[in-house]
Structure 1
Amino acid sequence: MPKGYVIMTEAIRDEAGMAAYGKASAASMAEAGARVRVVDPSPHVLEGEWHGDRTVVVEFASVEAARAWYESAGYQEARPLRQAAAVTNAVIVAGFEPPARTTGQEDSR
């Protein structure tokens, strides 16, 4: 089962409000087994336009675990703090798992 990732781009309007959100959301993230993988205030944009001034990537055991965290009562209490402090785009995506090689496959090179 592939891992699930929550990716948020944030246009922060209130740094203190975002700090309060971080504290308020920490317990729900720990409970969900989440691991923050990226917090980047200045991603290098290769093409197109990128929203916000910070990008955050949070890893979960699965897409279902990410969705359960996002919909959890603990996170729903913290979410309004983020919404008041930043304009955010958020998605849940599935990680990539390459197909398993079957035993006996020969290298075609």
Structure 2
Amino acid sequence: MPKAYVIVTEAIKDPAGMAAYGRAAGPSLAESGAAVLAADPSPQVLEGEWHGDRTVVLEFESVEAARAWYASPAYGKAKPLRQAAAESHAVIVTGFVMPGA
């Protein structure tokens, strides 16, 4: 089963609010077994336009695990803090497994 990745772009309006969100969201990520692969305040845009001041990439064991984390009561308590502190875009993408690998 391929891994899944949650990619979030954030246009931060309230840095203190985002710090509070980070403290609140951390335990839910640990509980879900997720790994934070990147939290970049200045991604290098190669083509087109990119949203936000920061891009975060999270790794999960599966799409189901990513969905379960996002819908969990633990993350449900943290999510409004992010939504109040930043304009965010978020997606779940399925990891690619090379055919024959």
Q: With the length of structure 1 as denominator, give the TM-score of the two structures.
A: 0.91
Alignment length, in residue pairs?
A: 101
Residue in 1 aligned with 2:100?
Answer: 100
Runs of 4+ with deviation above 4 angstroms: none
Query: Deviation digits for residues 5-62 of structure 1, max 9, x if unmatched?
Result: 1000000001110000001011110000000000111111111100001000000001
Give the number of the structure whose alpha-carbon radius of gyration is greater.
1
Q: Classify the secondary structure of the residue corresponding to 2:88.
A: strand
Q: Classify the secondary structure of the residue corresponding to 2:9.
A: strand
Counterpart of 2:14, as a letter, is D
What are structure 1's unaligned runs of at least 5 residues? Answer: 102-109
Residue in 1 aligned with 2:73?
Answer: 73
Q: Classify the secondary structure of the residue corresponding to 1:10.
A: strand
Counterpart of 1:21, as a letter, is Y
Residue in 2 aligned with 1:38?
Answer: 38
Percent identity (aligned): 69
Q: Distance in 2 between matches of 1:19 and 1:99?
A: 41
Shift of 1:99: 1.4
Q: Classify the secondary structure of the residue corresponding to 1:57.
A: strand
Q: Classify the secondary structure of the residue corresponding to 1:56.
A: strand
Q: With the length of structure 2 as denominator, give the TM-score of the two structures.
A: 0.98
Q: Distance in 2 between matches of 1:40 and 1:77?
A: 24
Cα RMSD for the two superposed structures: 0.7
Q: Distance in 1 between matches of 2:24 and 2:41?
A: 21
Q: Classify the secondary structure of the residue corresponding to 2:48.
A: coil
